[in-house]
Amino acid sequence: MSSMQLSRLAFGALFATLAGATSVAAQGPSTQEVAEFTGSGSYLAARHAGQQRDAVSAAAFYRSALRRDPKNSELLDRAFLSLLVGGEIEEAVKYADRILAADKNDRVARLAVGVRGIKQKQYAPARTNLSQSIRGPITDLTATLLSAWALTGANDAKGAVAAIDKLTGPDWYGIFKDLHAGLILDASGNAKEAGKRLAAAHKLDSSALRVVEAYGSWLSRNQSPKDALEVFEAFDKVLPNHPLIQASIAKLKAGEKLPMLTTNPQAGAAEALYGLGASLGRRGGEDLGLVYLQLSLYLAPTHPLALLSLADLYESLKKPQFAIKVYERLPANSPLHRNATIHMATNLDALDRTDEAKRQLRSLISENPQDQEAVVALGNILRSRKDYKECAETYSKAVALIPSPQKSHWTLFYFRGICNERSKNWSAAEADLRKALELFPEQPHVLNYLGYSWIDQGINLDEGMSMIKRSVAQRPDDGYIVDSLGWAYYRIGNYEEATKHLERAIELKPEDPTINDHLGDAYAKVGRTLEANFQWAHARDLKPDPDELPKILEKLKNGLPDDTSSQAGTTPPKKDPNGG
């Protein structure tokens, strides 16, 4: 299929194709649906699915197009990559074999074939393929660690560690090198040298979860449970209540020794791919992160942290339907299963499956009323759905679980304050907002919310305006906060100053209906009637809240009401995007 042929496609076929691709995005198209597309239609549907991060559908459509044009190397390559990103590794490797038959230097294909070799315990060919997948700092480290685990599978732990130590590169290589050298030595029975390398990794970063688990496990088996407990409890002070750490602490206190983190080459290679994939996903390398995490799960299908990292990556890509599918794969007996259920509920809510989300969270809370994370997650959903009375009650349950509020708890009081203010319980709202500022002085969102609320009520005007200005000084590029400052000036009758700040807010958030509506009101007050009508029309077209639309339509018909001293004819400021 040539680019000339693609350029001649009819618009009708294009639109039909895209609609078809979108309709099957959640689970991939059926065989019958794929068969209905032409070669060109399959290609366009695949491209669209790829842009939507739906690798499963993209792979199905690319494979369909490839069947019609089997010698097209571009289609072959795209089908392979889509299968890889979508987690269909066995099928992807078949395509990798075809790619390498035509281009023996394709590095990603070499990586996939090398990982298959580790999976199948074909360690020598695995190392051969991995050595040819090297290209840069990430892939160099990946290939070295995977090759080392392949050498371990071939009973050459000494050679594996030597290969790791031979690798030179950035400083951040160090922790990966020490961790995996230690894991290989531990799995190979060289406890003394394993301890040295794991201790070195722990010294480099005592807050790295897998380093702490590996070193603590080694200590429990080779030194004493007391030493291991100290390592886990030190981590818990820095990052409290991680389920895996809590589970290890409980076992140690029960007198149990902890198992090795990895016991075979497949698990070790999966660990390497997970560690690198999770790191890439957090640092903007989403595509390669997806590939590494899928390869990790190919080797270790129930690796709990790889599953959570993959789901988290889908969340960051705003693909909740894919995140849910991954969360569902987490074993029920995993200490992380509760966390997965909480995150799954958040994703269900993002898909407007809010009743399911609330049922899941309420079930967790019923099982454990002390589960603060589940309580807060339920409160967040209720707040986002504007169920303000119940969300205030729910946040109160979370607050009651805090023995002594710390700085990190400011959000609980802030969010409860929002819910109390929106449900017209101002005295409780004010107390919550003051408490949030007590815990986190000068927090810009709280300054903004409390300051505007005072001005809106005509009280504490000077202090309220000062708070909003201090908030803007900290967040000058936050359109919502700048909008609050403009609207505060509007409320006290300084329309020229209001106009100036609202124009700035529009520059920052041009597609927000509330800010456009505010600017329209300000323009009307300073006599810029034509511009006021333009802003109100724009606000109308940007899908404002249903209860605000009639007010905007009334202004378009009859202009700004004479009495604007209350909020009857205007929309309140969007004090913070988290505020509802």
Q: Where are the alpha helices (DSSP H) in 103-242?
A: 107-119, 123-131, 137-153, 157-166, 173-187, 191-204, 209-222, 225-238
Residue range 230-234: mean pLDDT, rounded: 97
pTM recorded for the entire structure: 0.86
The C-alpha atoms of residue 502 and residue 492 are separated, in whole angstroms, by: 14
Weakest mean pLDDT among 26-30, 68-72, 474-478 = 26-30
**Smallest Cα–Cα separation from 487: which of 477, 475, 527, 464?**
464
pLDDT level of residue 196 (50, 70, 90 thresholds) = very high
Q: How many helices (H) and strands (E) does the chain have?
A: 33, 0
Q: Where are the alpha helices (DSSP H) in 423-567?
A: 426-439, 444-457, 461-474, 479-491, 495-508, 513-525, 529-541, 549-558
Which contacts (CB < 8 Å, 24+ apart) does range 457-466 have? 457/426, 461/492, 464/488, 465/492
The pLDDT of residue 569 is: 37
Q: Domains of the chain (ranges plus CATH)?
A: 442-579 (1.25.40.10)
The pLDDT of residue 30 is: 64
The C-alpha atoms of residue 234 and residue 240 are separated, in whole angstroms, by: 9
Q: Which residues contact 548 (CB under 8 A, 6 or more apart)?
A: 513, 514, 517, 571
Q: How far is CA 562 from CA 491, 521, 548, 570, in A?
A: 14, 11, 18, 12
CB 87 within 8 A of CB 298: yes
**Smallest Cα–Cα separation from 73: which of 62, 83, 84?**
62
10 Å Cβ neighbour count for 136? 10
The C-alpha atoms of residue 90 and residue 83 are separated, in whole angstroms, by: 9
pLDDT in tens, 419-476: 999 999 999 999 999 999 999 999 999 999 999 999 989 999 999 999 999 999 999 9
The C-alpha atoms of residue 354 and residue 344 are separated, in whole angstroms, by: 11
10 Å Cβ neighbour count for 119? 20
Here the tokens at position 421 are 């203010």
Q: Is 385 helix (H, G, I), strand (E, B) or coil?
A: coil
The C-alpha atoms of residue 488 and residue 461 are separated, in whole angstroms, by: 9
The C-alpha atoms of residue 221 and residue 187 are separated, in whole angstroms, by: 13
pLDDT level of residue 268 (50, 70, 90 thresholds) = very high
pLDDT at residue 252 greater than cutoff 70: yes
**Smallest Cα–Cα separation from 489: which of 506, 470, 469, 510?**
469
CB 485 within 8 A of CB 494: no
What secondary structure, in 3-state letters, does 542-574 show? CCCCCCCHHHHHHHHHHCCCCCCCCHHHCCCCC
The pLDDT of residue 41 is: 81
The C-alpha atoms of residue 318 and residue 347 are separated, in whole angstroms, by: 9
The C-alpha atoms of residue 476 and residue 507 are separated, in whole angstroms, by: 12
pLDDT in tens, 512-527: 999 999 999 999 999 9
CB 88 within 8 A of CB 100: no
**Smallest Cα–Cα separation from 83: which of 112, 114, 122?**
112
Residue that the structure tokens 């066995």 belong to: 90
pLDDT in tens, 276-292: 999 998 888 898 999 99
State the burial class of residue 13 (Cβ atoms within 10 Å of its Cβ: 0-12, 13-18, 19+).
Answer: middle
CB 37 within 8 A of CB 8: no
